[in-house]
Amino acid sequence: MNQLGNFTKGFLKENPVFVMLLGMCPTLGVSTSAINGIGMGLATTFVLVGSNVVVSLIKDLIPDKVRIPSYIVVIASFVTIVELVMQGFMPALFAQLGLFIPLIVVNCIVLGRAEAFASKQSVGSSAIDGLGMGLGFAFALGILGSVREVLGSQSLFGFKLLPGDGMLVFVLAPGAFIALGYLIALIRKA
């Protein structure tokens, strides 16, 4: 597969959220606004690229039976780095994303990519794959975040589009499920 393909497949064809239905918790949990969604997406992208690169670097050194734990350690390290850096330099966003930052560790996308792609491919491809997937994730979260923000508080990226409050449901949990459900129905080819 060419590198461009590696990069773009994450956006629609193999979009981790809309098509592969991975990483649902952060998707639903932090998509209350476009900014939050994209922030979370970027944090995940960083972890994805980092762990993909490292995994593809060390793939030949790892015995099969400790593959998963080793990958988990690698991933967890990158997550912790994100955690610390965000805490230090973006405390407001960190407070918003809260629990979901450490939970990137268990996001199936990350481990899935490490397993399915990085452990078989070259460093370059893996990096691009990670970037593509991560941005695809960020893209999906951005969309969902925008939808929820527009419907829920009638604003986008913090700018008020209309006066008033919007439909509160979309800021809360039920709205997250409902909005994502319709987005997937809309995007899927049926």
Partner 1 sequence: MDQTVLFALLSLGTLGTGSAVILYFVAQRFKVIEDPRIDVVNELLPAANCGGCGYAGCRNFAEAIVKNESLEGLNCPVGGNEVMQRIAAALGLEAEMADPLIAVVRCSGSHEHAPQKVKYEGASSCAFAHNLYAGESGCPFGCLGLGDCVVSCDFDAIYIDGSTGLPVVDIRCVACGACVKACPRGIIELRPKGKKDRRIYVSCVNEEKGGPARKNCAVACIGCGKCVKVCAFDAIRLENNLAWIDPKKCTLCRKCVAECPTDAIHELNFPPRKPRGEEAAAPETQTQLS
Partner 2 sequence: MAKRESSFKNMVITLLSVTGIAALSLGGVYNLTREPIAEAQKAKLQQAIGEVLPPFSELEEHEAMPADGPDPLVFYVARNADSIVGTAVRTYTDRGFSGRFTIMVGFLPDGTIHNTAVLEHKETPGLGDKMDIRKAPWSEQFRGKNPAEYRLQVRKDGGDVDAITAATISSRAFCDAVQRAYDTQQQKGGEKQ
Partner 3 sequence: MEYVIIIIAAVFVNNIVLAQFLGICPFLGVSTKVGTATGMSMAVLFVITLATIVTWLVQTLVLDPLGLGFLQTITFILIIAALVQMVEIILKKVSPSLYQALGIFLPLITTNCAVLGVAILVVQKDYNLLQGVVFAVANALGFGLALLIFSGIREHLELMDVPRRMRGVPIALLTAGILALAFMGFAGLV
Q: Which residues bind partner 2 (CB under 8 A)?
A: 32, 58-66, 69-70, 73-74, 76-77, 80-81, 84-85, 87-89, 91, 120, 152-153, 165-166, 168, 171-172
Q: Which residue has the tokens 């460093």?
A: 123
Q: How far apart are CA 17 and CA 145, in angstroms?
A: 13
Our finding on whether 108 is near partner 3 (CB under 8 A) is yes
Our finding on whether 108 is near ligand FES (CB under 6 A) is yes
CB 37 within 8 A of CB 138: yes
Among 23, 50, 132, 166, binds ligand FES (CB under 6 A): 23
Tell me the closest approach of the beta carbon of residue 179 to partner 3, in angstroms. Answer: 8
Site mask for partner 1 (CB under 8 A), range 62-91, x = bound = ---xx--x---x------------------
Provide the 3-class DSSP secondary structure of residue 160: strand
Q: How many CB atoms lie within 10 A of CB 111?
A: 18
Tell me the closest approach of the beta carbon of residue 27 to ligand FES, in angstroms. Answer: 8
Q: Which residues bind partner 1 (CB under 8 A)?
A: 65-66, 69, 73
